[in-house]
Amino acid sequence: MMICISCGAEYDNQEIIYTCRECGSILEVVCQPQVSRDIFECRKSTMWKYKEFMPVDHSLIVSLEEGGTPFCRCQKLGDDLGVELYVKVEGSNPTGSFKDRGMSVGITKARELGVDTVGCASTGNTSASLAAYAARAGLRCIVLLPSGKVALGKLAQAMFHGAEVISVRGNFDEALEAVTALALEGQLYLLNSVNPFRLEGQKSIGFEIVDDLGWKSPDRIILPVGNAGNISAIWKGITEFHEAGFISDLPRMTGIQAEGAAPIARAVEQGWEDIVPVENPETVATAIRIGAPVSAKKALRAIYESDGMAETVTDEEILDAQKLLARREGIGVEPASAASIAGLRKLVESGQIDKGEQIVCIVTGHLLKDPNTAINACKEPIEVDADISALSRIINQS
Ligand code: F0G
């Protein structure tokens, strides 16, 4: 069953519906399996380890073995900041971002419903992931991208996996509105995170974190927020495990936004239950260049219920954090992902995060998603002949 998060109206899981017919708000899937956590033992470490919590037809699963991503202790960076820091490396998923978790469930649902065409609007990663999973399932895939604002690696993936890529004159919010209209006309099955089944996959990030910590919740989970699906999904997963009695404590959900695209942070600052959209969102972190996040209400609920918070970071802080994580801990992430680390630094410096807290930062996408930003942040390599004396002069220069 799906329910409306605002008025509680109920809908059958077999219905193709994205928002509530009664009040227009967003929907969520109800999932309360009666199982013991022992059943997870000895299962392969992919997100389907927790399949009882994925309410789709398990005989139709479309998977590339997503999930089971690295959970890296970052001792040096943690010590610098005075916290116990873990980084959940979502760039290690099959197409290089956390979206694969959502698409595995979303495309499985598409097969269950018998649709032949799927689609999305995307700042890049959603389209890359959808293109790959649609290819695996043999479905037609249409993606709408904001013209000129999608990082190169993501564009290459969407095109190479055979999606029909359409470049839309406008930003992500406008592209999402357009693709939603197509979906409501029945021209495609929408796989943006407004589709609540996407979040059923992404909630597995929360499952893995508490499993990795030995069935304990960290003090805090920090992650970048764009369209606001992921923070909502992780909170849903954690609360489901809490309600099932698998864990006894809960984390504070902490969302980080780029200063130029921060409707959620603004709403939290004001104590609002919904956002005021940002008209012309702008940030170097193109993945989260979003002004009207579709899951805003769910994200705000997650932040308020968990006694969490939201913070903004500048583009400079994002790029600094991206470099710091790469150079100090060897973890290469795209700019949007580094917002979590930038936010952590800012919140520690301002005293809003206590020393000694156990913190999980989610880094959402791989460095190679956005090679141009990475290259632009570095000096060009020196070119010389393969000559020993010339080489040793260069090596010993600095
Ligand atoms: N990090 C990365 C790398 C992303 O690609 C996204 C969203 C986010 C964070 C934010 O997650 O939207 O659930 O709050 N990318 C979407 C896309 C919008 O189209 O790929 P969110």
Structure tokens given for 244: 């099932």
Do 208 and 291 have their domain in common? yes
> With a 6 A CB cut-off, is 97 part of the ligand 1 pocket?
yes
CA 28, 32, 33, 35 torsion-angle sign: positive
- pLDDT digit string (tens) for the chain, length 398 residues: 999 999 999 999 999 999 999 999 999 999 999 999 999 999 999 999 999 999 999 999 999 999 999 999 999 999 999 999 999 999 999 999 999 999 999 999 999 999 999 999 999 999 999 999 999 999 999 999 999 999 999 999 999 999 999 999 999 999 999 999 999 999 999 999 999 999 999 999 999 999 999 999 999 999 999 999 999 999 999 999 999 999 999 999 999 999 999 999 999 999 999 999 999 999 999 999 999 999 999 999 999 999 999 999 999 999 999 999 999 999 999 999 999 999 999 999 999 999 999 999 999 999 999 999 999 999 999 999 999 999 999 999 86
Same domain, 128 and 260: no
Which ligand 1 atom is the nearest neighbour of the CA of 124?
20
Q: What are the tokens at 56?
A: 């789709």
The reply to whether 202 and 181 lie within a common domain is no
Collapse the DSSP code of 271 into the 3-class scheme (helix H, G, I; strand E, B; otherwise coil) and give the result. Answer: coil
- On whether both 179 and 279 belong to a single domain, the answer is no
Q: What is the pLDDT of residue 18?
A: 97
The response to whether residue 90 sits with its C-beta less than 6 Å from ligand 1 reads: no
- Does residue 109 contact residue 197 with C-beta atoms inside 8 Å? yes
On whether residue 61 sits in a domain, the answer given is: no
Q: How many distinct structural domains can be found in the chain?
A: 2
Q: Ligand 1, residues 230, 295, 303, 318: which to mutate, most atoms within 8 A of Cβ? A: 230
Q: Is 46 in the pocket of ligand 1 (CB under 6 A)?
A: no
Question: What integer pLDDT is reported at residue 397 of this predicted model?
Answer: 86
- Domain of residue 172: give its range: 2-35+97-195
| pTM score | 0.98
328, 342: one domain: yes
Same domain for 250 and 320?
Answer: yes
Q: What is the dihedral of CA 162, 164, 169, 173, to 10 degrees?
A: -90
User: Has residue 204 been placed in a domain?
Assistant: yes
Asked if the structure places residue 259 within a domain, the reply is: yes
Tell which atom from ligand 1 comes closest to the C-alpha of 123. 19
Q: Supply the pLDDT for residue 213.
A: 98
Distance CA 108, CA 112 (A): 6
How far is ligand 1, taken at its centre, from the CA of residue 386, in Å?
A: 43
Same domain, yes or no: 289 and 341:
yes
